[in-house]
Amino acid sequence: MITQNKRLIGIVFFITLLLLVPLLVMQFTDQVNWSLSDFIVAGFLLLTTGLACEFVLRKVKKMNYQIAICLVILTLFILVWIELAVGIFGTPISGN
Q: What is the pLDDT of residues 78-89, one digit of tens each?
A: 999 999 888 888
Q: Are 33 and 72 spatial neighbours (Cβ–Cβ below 8 Å)?
A: no
Mean pLDDT within 10-28: 95
CB 43 within 8 A of CB 54: no
- pLDDT, one tens digit per residue, over 25-43 is 999 999 989 999 999 999 9
Listed by start position, the domains of the chain span 2-86
Read off the pLDDT band of 96 (50, 70, 90).
low
Query: What 8-state DSSP symbol labels residue 26?
Result: H
* DSSP H helices in 27-62: 36-59
CA atoms in the 13 A half-sphere facing the CB of 1: 0
> What was the pLDDT predicted at 1?
60
Residue ranges of alpha helices (H) inside the chain are 2-26, 36-59, 63-86
